[in-house]
Amino acid sequence: MSEYRVLTAGDTALVVEFGDCIDRRLSTWVLSLARALDQIRLDGIIETVPTYRSLIVHYDPLRLSATSLTSTITTLMADLRVHEDVGRKWHIPACYDPSIAPDLDYVAAECGLTPRQVVERHSGTTYHVYMIGFMPGLAYLGDVPAELVLPRRPSPRELVPPGSLAIATTMTCVYPVECPAGWHLIGRSPVEFLTRRPTPTTLLSPGDQVVFTPVSLREYQRLLGMAAQGILKIAPNEDFLGVAV
């Protein structure tokens, strides 16, 4: 059993901490406990929210006490079955063309690589969705190859286009909407990571696996047009065939 501790977060949430670093092994414990709590459907639990190294459990104190919830967590942890593969695998098209990748040359120079080598390393990695945060639909994907690890930009951009593909530290992400951003922009994806109709839905979930498939600028523009018409469909385990950069 992994070491953990249960902390209070106000009077309507508990935090189950599994460590103090970003690590896929810790993430499997977080996601496995979230699955176990979801499966028992304990009356009073409102929501479980996975983070890098902890699970936030929101509950209704009028229906479930913190003591009772802590006891349930202790019981589950004593015999928790840890699942390594808890999510789906996605192949996501991404365009790394310099015209829509304003930081690609900078990243290459800082890492001692060519732009093509940056693309090869970034797209040659299977990423793990650690959590959804900062804004709806924004998945924190790790782990970026060691050669591409860079700190955030000294100053963030005020606005970046939706679909912007970015890296910072050991993480990569695709911004689902236009927003401020302090990460390095190395491309864009035509895929909608957040849909608002008929109900708000995020494409990815914690535990999913993501591979970025390079496509040409022409193919990106074609797919972006399909997305604007609502006819671009990306399904898990779908082998997306794009035109390589």
Domain ranges (residues) in the chain: 5-78, 89-228
pTM, two decimals, is 0.90
Sign of CA dihedral 159, 163, 165, 167: positive
pLDDT at 198: 77
pLDDT in tens, 61-85: 999 999 999 999 999 999 998 877 7
List, in sequence order, every residue forming a beta bridge with 210; answer none if it has no partner. 90, 127
SS3 212: strand
Q: What percent of the chain has pLDDT over 90?
A: 87
The residue among 215, 194, 216 whose CA lies nearest residue 203 is 194
**Candidates 3.40.50.300, 3.10.180.10, 3.30.1360.40, 3.40.225.10; CATH matching 5-78:** 3.30.1360.40
pLDDT in tens, 186-208: 999 999 999 877 777 899 999 99
pLDDT in tens, 91-114: 999 999 999 999 999 999 999 999
CATH fold group of domain 89-228:
Cyclophilin (2.40.100)
SS3 89: strand
User: What integer is the mean pLDDT of 151-159?
Assistant: 96
Average pLDDT score over the chain: 93
- Domain 5-78 shares a fold with domain 89-228: no
